[in-house]
Structure 1
Amino acid sequence: MQRHLTFLCISIVFLSTACSTKSRINSALENWAEENQASALIYIHYQDEIEILQTFVGNEAVTPPLPNQSVQLASLTKPVVNHILNSDPQPDVDLLSLSAVLDNHAHQIHPALNSLHVKTMTSGLPRDVENAKITFDENGFAHLSTDSLTWDFSEIEPETTYQYSNFAYHLFGLALESMHHRPLHHLADSLIGTEPGSVSYTTEIDQYMWSGEGWVVDDANYNSRFSSGGLCASMNDLIKLSQLQMDSANEYYGSLPSASNAFYRNPENDLTIILLSPMGVQNLNSIPALIQKIKSELTGAEPELPKRKVTLNPMSELSDSIEIERNLKHWSEVVLSGSGYEIYDALSSSFKMGSIDINDPTWAAIAQLRQEHPDFEPAGFRYVEENPVGLEVWFTSSDESHIAFRWIRSDEKSKPDNLFILPDDMEFMGESF
């Protein structure tokens, strides 16, 4: 009798702990939605203890998706493509290997370019190629128009250094379609096991972007992002994908003017977190911070974050002939001398119209940095290839605190539409980093 009683007590404690943890996570999610005026559908799976699939509404203008409704994946397209790349060919597929097909596509770009360069991101290809136009035929197959390409591919140097490239992901997608004789989205349905038509290039709900005066439906078509960020799928589809990748560690963040998403999978502690928000959350920093908060609640300890190591280019190398570099240089100068309004004004003239809010307290907080930190000045800039991709300037001070400002844009041709702020060893807007 005593042994049964002991087992019962342990079970009650276990259930109580799980319920308490789930309650704290729900509170964290509700706080995040309210603080960021964000609406999202969130899925969390942790071992056999916690499973959450719930919508959180912090913005009455935006309705989060249901689990079976497709939304823009943005860069969450990449784990879908990677799964296809790593899947065994189906029985009806020709014996021609993916490497051979990819070699063929690569050779058309540059005779020295091969599949290994593309797979390892050592192709020397730029992140985006100007005028690289993806179109789709009546059967849904993608085609790359090379007639209008202005990039001089003779200048690329394969097998040099790692350099992420969306254009390389386009080559992946084209090669997969050639190899399997199926459009990419149909291929995703087959290899993930989703219902036919679940993965597509079409959303099933309205997605919203900030116009400066309010939230408006984004009517832009993003399918030309193809295998680098053009697919649409539902939460149910991504849950199936995560279950197929139980032994793979993945962390992806995807953003568009009207989409803010995250896909996190850690096989060591059997933790999956997926977030889909059909809106351009204005503080993108809050999403990785939320993932970190959830991880901390579940594991019971804050993981140690490695020191950020970056290689910067001198500010003098910013080119006046490249609009985004010229604007970043000017804005960095305003940060050193301007008021909060002047910092906003210089940023607003460089960003998409209406993409930032004049009433955001961030501008005053940035202006305050030079008073709070001695010898505050720009240390250099870099192009960032991991998500969210963009052009980034770092500021440092003699008290060894640092902060980076990343200008994010949806594609190479457009103006920036979001600002990603990364404080390091400093307090910013009331929080310590």
Structure 2
Amino acid sequence: MTHSDSGAAPAAPAAPAAPAGARPHGHGHGHRSVEEHRERLARLLAPLADRAAQDRSLDAAFGTALAADLAAPGSLPPFDNSQMDGFAVCSSDPGSGDPTGPGLRRFTVAAPIPAGAAPPPLRPGHAAPIMTGAMLPAGADAVVRVELAVPSGYPPEGAAVDLPAVEPGTYVRRAGSDVVAGAVVLPAGTALGPAQLGLAAGLGLSMLRVRPPLRAALVSTGAELAVPGRPLGPGQIHDANGALLHAALREGGVEARAVAVRSDEPAELRAALEGLARGPERPDLLITTGGVSKGAFEATKLALDGHDVEFAHLALQPGGPQGLGTFAGLPLIAFPGNPVSCWVSWEVLLRPVLSALLGAPRARRRVRAPLAEPLESPAGIFQVRRARLGPDGAVGLVGGPGSHLLGALASSDAIAIVPEDATALAAGDNVEVWLT
């Protein structure tokens, strides 16, 4: 069957837990290790890092990675400005006249300073009403919050206002306090998300030099696949892989195109791959799902027979059956067909390699967290469990280790990584958690 893999392998008998996060290099059950397969993927995909850089608008740069270090063309803030609505003053100015109470100084109210205006210098004995973000006038070195003024609020220009003494720099955002002109603010390879694009815009940039986004063609295979939205025939299942992996690739900044070959005929899959590889929109990468296990009708294996593609079983659960190589001069990666196995293959194998190689997609955030419950895992297997990180910081498992549990995947927000030498972990043991 095209959707079979070892995602439901039975757990080994319990044994003392290994140190959390251990990463041995050995293989489980003679299978290839996850680490070794990632290394093979990195060698296969290394030429993708040599594609020519592009200049893109900020909108079009979203999800890509910088091709070169980004040096700030100016400082942020570009000028001293007020952090609060209040009065701009010189902290050493004693004021003039008799204040209404102890600890206060009397000032004459100067013309107000709105944001976006270039104010005149502040004269001695004066305090200028100033709005948040407005430029501090020459002669001023501090801001007094309007709530502390007597009378409360902003008296008219020329009137008197009493203000308490303040230290120099109070509520002042100094020029360059965030970013200094000329400093490298984002190194090459930085994935460009909202914060990075906001910084570029704040620096006055409208274009960025980026690594071009990866273009992938995703091919789901299997005679049992039915189009979502249509009734199922006998023995059919709806094609979840196409939607699942297509969305995962797009979320990771990959420009993905999804195609389905609803057949177990190797010639049909081979024709579809040739059409993609030789068509006008030739992708950078081919990804197939299904047909890579040990069944009698493994169309992907049969279709790629004679091509430079190798198939192996990894010490990984779910997602053991994998393939990689080249087809018509393009790198090709063959994922297993079970939906969760397919998604785990992306998250655990391909996504980390692309993150390290290209900078995009952004690497998943990894934390250490205690298990909320015990678990068992087969000896020598790198097990990936769907999980949720609770408000108490503990990680709870969602569903079992099976490769078909789409409902559990949809209810999770993390994956818990069980190292190859751990066959049993107790509640409270720390595990590595990837936030998804």
More strand by share: 2
- The structure with the greater share of residues assigned to helix is 1
* TM-score, L = length of structure 2: 0.25
Return the index of the structure with the highest Cα Rg: 2
